[in-house]
Amino acid sequence: MEIVVAIKPVPEGETRLRPNAAQSGFDPDGVKFVLAGYDESAVEQALLLKESIPGSRVRAVSFGPGPRTEEVLRAAIALGCDAATWVEHPVDLLPDAVLSARAVAAALAASPPELLICGRQSGDEESGVFPGAVGAVLGVPSLGYAVNLRWDPTTARLTLQRSIEGGLESVETALPCLVGLQQAWNDPRTAKLPNILKSRKAVIEKIPWEQSKAALGRHASPTSVRRQFRLPAPRTGARMIPYDSPADAAQKLVRALREEAKVFP
Amino acid sequence: MPDFALTEEQRSLQDLARKFARTEMAPRAAECDRLGRFPEEVMRKAWELGLMNLNIPAEYGGSGLGLVDQCLIVEELAHACAGMTTSVIANCLALEPILLGGSEEQRRSVLSSFCSSYHLASFCLTEPGGGSDAGALQTRARRDGDHYVLDGEKCFITNGPHASLYTVFATTDPALRHKGICAFYVPRDTEGVTPGKEEEKMGHRASSTSTVRFERARVPVAQRLGAEGDGFSIAMRTLDQTRTPIGALATGIAQAALDHAAAYSLKRQTFGKPIAEHQAIQIKLANMAQDVHAARLLTWNAAWEIDQGRKGTLESSIAKCYASDAAMRVADEAIQVFGGYGYMKDYPVEKLLRDAKLAQIYEGSNEIQRIVIARELLRPYA
């Protein structure tokens, strides 16, 4: 079985993003891109399944611009993925989740995977649309908020748990299907140094944007367009209210809330 | 113009080391320092991730990294805890003599076993009676048939109590000085080999240090590295390789001190504003940053020289000496920025000063480094 895991390069959590000159997105200069938490869990799950299913392999796939996308795919190979497919797009394309889903689905169309795993949402935009959208385009059922995937070779069915309000729901499914993984339930492994060195030499299959564009036809542009990327306005400072006694403080506070902030009538 | 840009591969190695330092080393650093506890679990995990035997070539199962790559990793590790780092990189020091002086068969049998499972090795050169004057060592190696019989005591041995193998320097005749020294590798279970009690140290307290005694320890001639009398040269060439990473270790300490001081200076308020807005503090931070930057670049330069196949004697001595002196200055100033809190053990900076001190002493004291630097720099004028 080939398990495909879809991943996305996202800015490292500690990065301070700045808007680019056009204020259409962030300025990627100096930004470090990494596998986000949900994707790390997805890769870990794919590798755990691989280790439990003899003869299976894991392919990582990612839709994004260079060099960040190639780098996260190499990181996935260093973690233990057997192969990687880079579905490339120009850095200024700014795709939405639906276009990403279509592009990844088109890249996988030649040999659709039996099991596609991804994080339930990306680590940057967190819209959570991608898993369901890929499932819809590929015509396979998708299961989100999943943890703890197990493959039963005798029944040829996949079991998993889904986070629902107040507990976990156990689900059993046939393949093909798509699973959106919850974050960090499985303690993602760290790539070992020799594997990092090997991953640098791994051959990554690259699908150029022209090819994806031809396959997608009129769908080759984002459906929703991000118009502006701005930092939030700086917050104004708090005002200290001087007082003589707790009763005086309460009175002055209520007056300020009513007369200045107009919180009460 | 030299190119200071790191490759993506180097960034990945740096990331791995940084992540390991932050998640595995840093959370245990204060406790191990306080208790003088050797973090066996951290050591094992470092081995599992391939962060331990960095200098062993791929053909023996190691990573075979160049010195620049090694330095990038060592700096990141030392940022979290210099003591643990010293213990993690002690295998590089102890196994380098086998790489440099061992036969193909010796290399294959010893080095491969260190890469296939977790073992520690210790480099045994220094003796109670002398460190810098290695030519005067007193541990005896008397030939007896196809064995040597080793007698003597080594001190300040990193990982001594935990090592399963010692590389030992001993002399067939002290009167021959340098020319009488032989190098051996000696498994710990050899009869007559006894590590002593752990030393209580000022810094590097997570690292384990002890004496190692050799009493009528019989070592097969097959465990001698190179020819009889090659030992001194093997030891010196080993230190030529391992001196530069000490510059990286010191840079890591200095960077940590600067990071702590800069972050604290933005939080701590005096006279109505963060102390980072006072010029007295700004000047301190600026001087610290210069030291850190210079230490790092000198270290990279020395590592690069050696990676080019040159000896790099001058550069590596400058790097080790400058970076360790810089680490002392920067850690000292970091404490000053923290004020009274910097003197308290609840805060992280006093440890950095204690840790930095060792970098001025071990792997060739800074006085010895200056002698080497002077000798090398005067050569063209002679």
Residues A61-114 pLDDT 10s: 999 999 999 999 999 999 999 999 999 999 888 899 999 999 999 999 988 899
Using the Cβ of B19 and the Cβ atoms of chain A, whether some distance falls under 8 Å is answered with yes
Residues B120-140 pLDDT 10s: 999 999 999 888 888 899 999
Residue A156 identity: A
Contact residues on chain B for A184, CB-CB shorter than 8 A: none
Give the DSSP per-residue string, B18-84.
HHHIIIIIHHHHHHHHHHT---HHHHHHHHHTT-S-TTS-GGGTS----HHHHHHHHHHHHHH-HHH
B239, two tokens: 């230190």
Which residues are registered as beta bridge partners of B166?
B122, B186
Provide the pLDDT confidence category of residue A13 given band limits of 50, 70 and 90: confident
pLDDT at A25: 82
Nearest to B95 by CA among B55, B142, B133, B138: B55
B315 is catalytic: no
Do B161 and B148 contact (CB within 8 A), yes or no? no
Provide the pLDDT confidence category of residue A264 given band limits of 50, 70 and 90: confident
**CB atoms A193 and B16 under 8 Å:** yes
Residues B178-213 pLDDT 10s: 999 999 999 999 999 999 999 999 999 999 999 999
Residues B163-172 pLDDT 10s: 999 999 999 9
The DSSP H or E segment spanning B194 is: strand B193-198
Contact residues on chain A for B51, CB-CB shorter than 8 A: 193
Of B13, B20, B58, which has the smallest distance from its Cβ to A196's Cβ?
A: B13
Residues B46-62 pLDDT 10s: 999 999 999 999 999 99
Checking if the pLDDT of B177 tops 50, the result is yes
Do B355 and B267 contact (CB within 8 A), yes or no? no
CA distance B239 to B52: 18
Checking if the pLDDT of A265 tops 80, the result is no
pLDDT at A238: 82
Residue of B nearest to A189 (CA): B49
DSSP state of A156: T
Of A78, A193, A197, which has the smallest distance from its Cβ to B51's Cβ?
A: A193
**CB atoms B49 and A192 under 8 Å:** yes
The DSSP H or E segment spanning A146 is: strand A142-152
Which residues are registered as beta bridge partners of B153?
B213
Instruction: Tell me what the pLDDT averaged over chain B comes to.
Output: 96
- Percent of chain A having pLDDT more than 70? 100
pLDDT at B1: 46
pLDDT at A101: 95
Checking if the pLDDT of B287 tops 90, the result is yes
Do B287 and B293 contact (CB within 8 A), yes or no? no
pLDDT at A33: 93
Q: What is the mean pLDDT of residues B85-105?
A: 97
**CB atoms A71 and B8 under 8 Å:** yes
pLDDT at A36: 82
B125, two tokens: 């050169």
Q: Which of residues 44-73 of B touch A (CB under 8 A)?
A: 48-51, 54, 58, 63
Q: Choose, from B41, B363, B367, B376, the residue flagged as catalytic.
A: B363
**CB atoms A75 and B13 under 8 Å:** no
Higher pLDDT, A125 or B40: B40
Q: Are strands A167-173 and A57-64 parallel, antiparallel or unpaired?
A: unpaired
Nearest to B70 by CA among B20, B10, B121, B18: B10
Q: The pTM is what?
A: 0.89
A183, two tokens: 């974050």
Asked if ipTM goes beyond 0.90, one says no
Contacts of A12-19 with C-beta under 8 Å, sequence gap 24+, read A13/A123, A18/A231, A19/A229, A19/A230, A19/A231
**CB atoms B50 and A193 under 8 Å:** yes
Residues A212-251 pLDDT 10s: 999 999 999 888 777 788 888 888 878 888 999 999 999 9
Nearest to A47 by CA among A143, A130, A115, A111: A115
Checking if the pLDDT of A164 tops 50, the result is yes
